[in-house]
Structure 1
């Protein structure tokens, strides 16, 4: 019942977003995904990652057959494109169509060749895989909508609030330049393939699905998708383009000034900054930070190698978001609070709306809203008193993290041991 409800809601949301995109004259998520059945995909890695998620419900023999079929189809597509002289778009990949064809083929097999629990399990696997790629297309459409419907941004407000943290994006940008091309290429790869990293963690969590014939109650894909669904809604009420655009060379004539990353923005009264209809308003909160935080949380109970990888991906993602000038420091603080709140909400839902979980969700939501309000209505005060505002920002973020850890311990039945007392002598 839950899967069916989620499917209906997702389909309704996609149709609504497709209609909005059509009225704005931009490609919607359904259109974009349908094109990749034939045209070169935007991310072949993501399509193969989605196929890997689907294959968690298959036996090893079926997985090998599916992988072979995907590679064979991709080889055919590559040969045909080469034969007719069809080049790739600037952001296209030469592979990935085969993976999408296999996922769609498994959906057809489930509907025509399977029955009962086997059909349901295979359809769940297909749905999980398609949700990953559809979530990516949905995000792309959201970004186009923000750029065309929000003519001004709040970057000057965020830049002022960021003084409370010492404007870390400016420092990180200079450090990344000093690190040279190796550091830049490494961080760029980490940032771009965040969804693939999430799939690796999810595959570990879902490794027993085929044997147990059921999905675990909670796994990373759920958190990843909810973050991607809820986050863009905040973009619509809090448009921010980031320091590289608002204060750097990529903003062109729309930039408030060409300051990033060498000159800090002066403390001055913030204002609404008009901006172009191309650059996405996708900074507040930092969803890459939220997703990397979710990966970190879901690797804590894995083997040592997975825990190390989760920590690396979080640190590298934070470095990339700041170093490339895509986010302000305060975006990251909001992203961490956002991720912990979403994760707590999903776990609380699984437990039947546990009271302690509901309190944490309410607290995390309150802190998140308070952060956004402070960035908007008190940025000058934060810039003028960084010795107070900076520690307060970090303290409220840490309080959400601490409350989440306490909640997990409570759910696991971990209690604080009672203080030891000296034995009393027996009465005479």
Structure 2
């Protein structure tokens, strides 16, 4: 009896620091959202909290994402509960559609979706059920599911506010520096732009759909990883949603340090009179001494690094252990995202390689945090961080040298990225548990 009490006390002691960690993370996240809300209000616009609260009643801008978030939340439910949740969400959405139709409140194209409110209501309803009708581990598990779903939509709203802040607080952009450095890679955005134009409207529509629905692809991979949560009553130690959220949290901080709007704005017609010239995608910019250039206060400075590439890389990594269809989808989404980011003129080639290094470093750091830091993990994270910082320093202070010595600088940039990819594969392979060989059968005595 005494040993059993000691075991319970030891288990409680282990859980207490984890509970404190989760509580601290929740307080910090809430404080961060409030700070962003205040910052957005300072510019006369609603922040992430207001935008999310409005979607309880008004037509949501992120209808598919809300249903994806509900799907993530439902990994903690039984199949019967999932069917009830889906039915409730669809029913609530039908009521909202009928009410809007009755009062002639049509959803304007580009300003919202006709569906999505029901999914948000179901997520919030599960939170109320967890607090009022569940206790102990069941309450904790359901609240984790609700938190997982709300984190995805909150991340989307937080990202929108971050983009607003970058456009308001960074009046000068560094596109000329990045464009000159991009000569070392052969101006891939200009090349991809001409290829996408040659594919016609079909290719453009496919790439545009892939680019916009990146979060939905992440939900599909995450659902596969979390498919056993309801049965095992616990979440796996590491999954895609964590990497996705950390990328979205850290990336905008780099935007503030290295503001870049992208070739279609800095060198294309979309930049209006702020653009250097209307050169994209037909004429690569000349190799001139770069300068910081003023730009409007509405275009986000969201190029360095390419977070779409970073997220697509994370999807690719986490789809590797799935069935062949999921692995194929991971490859397709990565390739199509690269085609869209470059072919639509949203990013330079330098942004792309920086995004790959950014993701691999974050992914390795999260895996190390779960399993405990060791020498190989620390060495790789330090290597990835060094390469990423070296990229930013080189783009800012050595662009002319890189353009004039493209035969050397271009391969060097690519080799630096390849070194991080190789280091990640080698390091994470060492972390995988080794399969135990099956015992050899003992020889049986011969029967005479």
* Distance of 2:222 and 2:255 partners within structure 1: 27
* Distance of 1:259 and 1:29 partners within structure 2: 36
Contact 1:44 / 1:95 at 8 angstroms: preserved in 2? yes
Q: What CA deviation, in whole Å up to 9, does each residue of 1:152-194 have, x standing for no partner?
A: 1000000000001100000111110110111000000000000
The aligned residue for residue 301 of structure 1 is: 321
The aligned residue for residue 9 of structure 2 is: none
The aligned residue for residue 129 of structure 2 is: 109
* Distance of 2:203 and 2:272 partners within structure 1: 26
The aligned residue for residue 424 of structure 1 is: none
The aligned residue for residue 29 of structure 1 is: 48
Q: Trace 1:130-141 onto structure 2 (pairs within 5 A).
A: 130-141=150-161
Could you tell me how far 1:139 is from its partner in structure 2?
A: 0.2
Please give the secondary structure, in 2, of the residue aligned with 1:27: coil
The aligned residue for residue 363 of structure 2 is: 343
The aligned residue for residue 304 of structure 2 is: 284
Q: Trace 1:33-44 onto structure 2 (pairs within 5 A).
A: 33-44=52-63
TM-score normalised according to structure 2 size: 0.91
* Distance of 2:38 and 2:210 partners within structure 1: 33
The aligned residue for residue 74 of structure 1 is: 93
Q: Trace 1:397-408 onto structure 2 (pairs within 5 A).
A: 397-408=417-428
Could you tell me how far 1:301 is from its partner in structure 2?
A: 1.2
Which residue, out of 372, 376, 379, partners 1:356? 376
* Distance of 2:247 and 2:45 partners within structure 1: 23
Contact 1:40 / 1:92 at 8 angstroms: preserved in 2? yes
1:190 matched to 2:200? The reply is no
* Distance of 1:389 and 1:78 partners within structure 2: 57
* Range that drifts further, 23-32 or 168-177: 23-32
The Cα RMSD (Å) is 1.0
Contact 2:364 / 2:428 at 8 angstroms: preserved in 1? no
| Stretches of structure 1 lacking an aligned partner (at least 5 in a row) | 416-428
Contact 1:26 / 1:144 at 8 angstroms: preserved in 2? no
Q: Trace 1:312-327 onto structure 2 (pairs within 5 A).
A: 312-327=332-347
* Distance of 1:121 and 1:28 partners within structure 2: 29
Q: What CA deviation, in whole Å up to 9, does each residue of 1:306-364 have, x standing for no partner?
A: 11110100000000000000000000000000000000110010012222111111111
The aligned residue for residue 222 of structure 1 is: 242
Could you tell me how far 1:4 is from its partner in structure 2?
A: 2.7
* Distance of 1:296 and 1:62 partners within structure 2: 31
Contact 1:53 / 1:199 at 8 angstroms: preserved in 2? yes
Contact 1:194 / 1:292 at 8 angstroms: preserved in 2? yes
* Distance of 1:159 and 1:393 partners within structure 2: 15
* Distance of 2:334 and 2:208 partners within structure 1: 13
Which residue, out of 380, 392, 409, partners 2:412? 392
Could you tell me how far 1:87 is from its partner in structure 2?
A: 2.1
Which residue, out of 176, 199, 221, partners 2:196? 176
Could you tell me how far 1:368 is from its partner in structure 2?
A: 0.3
1:144 matched to 2:158? The reply is no
TM-score normalised according to structure 1 size: 0.96
Could you tell me how far 1:414 is from its partner in structure 2?
A: 6.2
